[in-house]
Structure 1
Amino acid sequence: MSEFNAGSAPGPLAGDVHTYTAAFEAWLAARPPAFVAAARPIPSYAERVAAMSELMRVLFDEGWARRGWPEEFGGLGGGIAYRAAMWEALARHGLGAMALFEHLEILAPTLLAMGRRDFAARVLPRFLRGDERWSQGFSEPEAGSDLASVRTRATADGDGYVISGRKIWTSWARYASWCLVLARTGTRESRHRGLTAFAVDLRSPGVEVRAIEQANGTDELAEVTLEGVRVPSGQVVGEVGGGWKVAMHILAHERGTFAWFRHCFLYRQLFDGLRPAAEAEDGGPRAEDGLLGEALLDLAAVRASSHVVMDRYVTGTLAGPEAAFSKLLLAAAEQSVNDWSLADDTDLAIGLQDEHAAVRRQDYLFSRIVTVYGGSQQMQLDTIAKQILRLP
């Protein structure tokens, strides 16, 4: 059981979502130092991680980040609506992004639903508090969108497994303590039926993490090499040979519920970039005003589609193939917000800038890859065509 299992939520934390949100808004309005530090533009990714980890510690200790998670696992009860309200309020008050804590809403629900209960009770509070962070080890040098071709192998050995292989484009691995690794326990011919998911401690002997600097200058991505890494059987997530089911559970969040969380911060990015309205030299509207309108419409589409997914999750229904719609709409919105951002301030493309402009340039360059990560745009369209429209 979790050491943080302290019973029912106290005070305003015990109320419904509206009571919780009002109390949290008042707390944020007082501008807590940890929030102010995390909300400022931080070009250095390492410094951004440190600031966000400190904010998560404060949010956890104050109880805000515990609401919406089961008491058995260190939470204070309640469902995803509390978490959605917390992150939306943080964005509205000026926080620029979830940073690597995006994985809270991608990996943590799967750990709770499919991991060993004693293991989840041990690691989730540390994850919520920012003491330990997680990454996701799916893609490999020769297995990207085709997860069924994963080659990293896990071999049974005594009371655990030994894992060897390479993972690539592993988000936040440099800053993570853990990685949820998809590895092959069956034959290569068994494809998706021969996969198993493991929670791997990246501090274990045999693990090497090499940061990959992206075009935007951050080192969010990494290559992870595992050479004879021992993993206890208690850190198997789901069933042995059931890794595909675990992966689909994760992707339902990465492509579905995550769209709600991410779009809140895209609104924040849009509003932070707004300057006093100016007219073109001929007295008419500026050319970039059209791009602003497109960005707002794209964000409205994400909000509508992801709200449907969130409603399903509140009732205990996991998003299926329709999560592909949210993923497509989110990618379009991310790019349209950043297209407007560059058109509105073309100096982002060149020269030295202040920290705010530097972060906006990072955001723009990152937006160019959003149609690839988490399943390419082509894979999402294929899912819609085959599994929803039933096309041949």
Structure 2
Amino acid sequence: MKKRLLSILLSISITLLFLLPSHAATPESDSNILFTPELAESTAEKFSSNLGKKYHAISTTKIYAANEQAIGYIVNLQDDNNHTGHIVFDNTKDSLISEFSFDEPSIGSKNHISSPYIISGSATFAPLDSSFHKKMSSTCGTTKTYKVGPFTYETRSPRMSANSNYLFPFGKHTSTWDDIFVPVKTIYENYNLVGTNHISDFYTLPEDLVKETTKHYACAVSASYICGSYYEANLGCIDESLKDEYMDIWARTKTTVRSIRGGITYGTTPITDITPGINSYLKSKNKSARGTYVESPSYSKFTKTIDSHNIAMIHCGINTDEGRSGHSMAVEGYCTIAKKYDHSQLHTLMACDGWDGQVKYINLDYSYFTDYQGTFFHE
């Protein structure tokens, strides 16, 4: 089913807000998010912009504590005049930014600013510049960069098995799926619009219709079907062959039976099989679109996909009283908003939740995701 989006945010009038410059966000104990390399790069670029500099990220290296816990990134920067700089993000610091430096041509800099010195298994120090980063990229499977002093880093093979790649811990906080959605009324009353975009039509596949037609239901299959509809692999829920198409995707995504209740078969789908399954389905329909699976994607990954007139999926998990609960949804737009009282931003995705036929706004900054992944389509 397609529903024409009447206007941005379902015809809600929200005033465009030009944000004042702000420093990089500080992680709070009650607002932890997964700090990805893409987020580190975009934060570094925004930080430099707020200082009046137009730098872009050229390399990023994850840094670890001695216990193998990832604690941050070293982001190398460069501007169009080949001036360089760096920012070190370290979540053991209250400010998150451990240090930063930029070329200052006005005071005689020779374009030699580079990241903190790194020990490479010897007493010889070498600056972490872009060429060093490229050299290390070929061996990143066997070496890591560790913080061994306040401003010193050692690149070596791990001495123990990594126990986590998450930069911020996820607690055992229990949630319901309602917790991750931002009510439209709340957006209207408490936020101003920063930026938004969406595909031209809203594609939906309500759970009740799926159950009635197919006697089956699995969220990943519904999300995949919706994405297939966008690329005209099927006609949406007006398609008389809905059951055949749905069950074809069910099989291709290796969805298995989780339970049978009330005559309805409920399925569960391995996250890593969703993208290959929908790609196989699209190929069988002679469609050129293909999806790419990304673990822990940044918000900008979603926005860039939508801006390129493509659709996406989010696969996420929360802790409930019964344990981890996973859910997949089709992402059809995004909306970046800012709180009226302090201008702090909230990053939301406009999605079909697979349960009903309305646009839902997913809070990607929600603190208690256990994990989330994405499938991003392109033609």
TM-score, normalising length: structure 2: 0.25
Instruction: Identify the structure with bigger relative contact order (alpha carbons < 8 Å, sequence gap 6+).
Output: 2
More helix by share: 1
- Bigger radius of gyration: 2
Give the TM-score, by structure 1 length: 0.24
